[in-house]
Amino acid sequence: MPVLVRDYTWEQVESQVFITVPLRGVGAGRADIFCAEDYLKVNFPPFLFEVLLYASIDESKSSAKVGNGVVIFTLHKKESRMWEQLTTVEVNKEKLQKKRESAILAAQEKAQEAVKEKAIKKRENEKYSLEKMMKIEEDHRKQIEELKKQEQRKATEELEKWKLQKLEEEELKRKEELKRKEELKIARQKIEAERKKKKVQNSTSQAPYKHSVKRGNASNIFTENVKEEIIPAPRSAGNIQIQFTPRVFPTALRESLIAEEEEWLRKQAEARRANNAHVPDLKDLKEEEKNPDWLKDKGNKLFASGDYLAAINAYNLGIRLNNKLPVLYLNRAATHLKLRNLHKALEDCSKALDLLTPAVPDNADSRLKAHVRRGAAFCELELYVEGLQDYEAALKIDPSNVAIQADAEKIRRVIQGIPPDP
């Protein structure tokens, strides 16, 4: 039987009631406290404090402090007035039992309402996050379209400017050609006039001496002088085909020395040999090393021991032997994440997802790992929108996964600019 506590004290003001309940040995977190609108209970075995209040209180604003062997209640009245007493008069066990049950039922209903409100608020937050993300993506798409339009307008303006410049150049060339032809025509006319004038002078001065001068020679000399003064027409345009001898060295022959070329070629050959040194020949492998499953297990053991480079070599050899096993790409992606080879991890996860088609229940676990690892790589690269898409795809596969739900919520908060919870 519990020991009923009756040696409590209480005080009041118009808006609040203060109750002090002594409980020997009570401490924070050890007492069961229940507060309803007109019912108050403290259960600290073997002690029990239980009262039906004189009037209603606001339990959402009321509080209790536990420590040093006492429980101090601060109750907020719903109506600001002085109470005549703390408890109701003539309380029997049946009435107290009914009041206790009704208070507990009311508290349960409030708790259910609070859970529903919390679920509604969560859906509203998720809806708001999705709308916010869609708006961000829409704004990003509009920005890209606007940039494309600006680039298109700029290219069009440059093209129009180039066309106008070409027209001006062609017009200038045409005017220069006309001017040159006009000057050539004037020069020919002057030459022709001079030739006629000389011809008349020669015929006049040589008339008495027809038999002493050879007119043919004078005519030939004049013709040669005319030819020298005539400006020739422009040469016709043409194309010259040139072929260059291909060279291995990256510079022209006139800019290189033979010794430098030989040193460069030697270093290139050494680099190729060094890159291929760790790649074993399939003919030299042991029988168990030719089994991709054995190599997968070997890589897993190396991964567990922290030897990530050796694990990657094992997975690489397994993929060389059989490039159709998604688990090899998934395990290698996890190893690349450890080494922060993020882009390689993205490639391996995408390759694994390509191999895990069609989506069936048997490969659901592998698809889940691929989406989570690719999402983690995207987030490490600060591509949070792409990472959230992968986490949401993983949640479609396993909606009850609490860890993935928590990570997805953190990514949404980062996208929305909300600081993380302390």
Q: Angle at CA 393, nearest 5°, toward 388 and 399?
A: 105
Name the nearest CA neighbour of 249 among 231, 225, 230, 267: 267
State the burial class of residue 317 (Cβ atoms within 10 Å of its Cβ: 0-12, 13-18, 19+).
Answer: buried
Write out the H or E segment, with its range, that includes residue 138: helix 93-205
Q: How far apart are CA 339 and CA 44, in angstroms?
A: 55
CB of 38 within 8 A of CB of 55?
A: yes
pLDDT in tens, the chain (422 residues): 677 888 888 888 888 989 888 888 777 667 788 888 778 888 888 888 888 888 888 888 888 888 778 888 898 888 888 888 887 755 566 776 777 777 777 777 777 887 888 888 888 888 888 888 888 988 988 989 899 989 888 888 888 889 888 899 999 988 988 888 888 888 888 888 888 877 777 666 554 444 443 444 444 444 444 444 556 666 666 677 777 666 655 566 666 667 777 777 777 777 766 655 555 556 566 777 778 899 999 999 999 999 999 999 999 999 988 999 999 999 999 999 999 999 999 999 999 999 998 989 999 999 999 999 999 999 999 999 999 999 999 999 999 999 999 999 999 999 888 776 65
Q: Token pair for residue 92?
A: 């029997």
Q: How far apart are the first and last CA of the chain?
A: 45
Classify 252 as helix, strand or coil.
coil
CB of 15 within 8 A of CB of 33?
A: no
Query: What CA–CA distances, in Å, run from 306 to 309, 310, 316?
Result: 9, 9, 17
Q: Token pair for residue 41?
A: 């209970």
DSSP class of 284: G
| Block residue for tokens 């030739």 | 195
Give helix 384-397 / helix 93-205 axis angle, nearest 10°.
Answer: 130
- Sheet of strand 16-22, all strands in order from the earlier edge strand to the far edge: 9-12, 16-22, 70-76, 63-67
State the burial class of residue 81 (Cβ atoms within 10 Å of its Cβ: 0-12, 13-18, 19+).
Answer: exposed
Q: How far apart are CA 180 and CA 65, in angstroms?
A: 109
Query: Domains in the chain, please, with CATH?
Result: 3-91 (2.60.40.790), 290-416 (1.25.40.10)
Name the nearest CA neighbour of 260 among 272, 251, 269: 251
Beta bridge partner(s), residue 73: 19, 64
Helices (H), 305-341: 308-321, 326-338
Query: What CA–CA distances, in Å, run from 63 to 87, 110, 158, 169, 402?
Result: 18, 17, 75, 90, 33
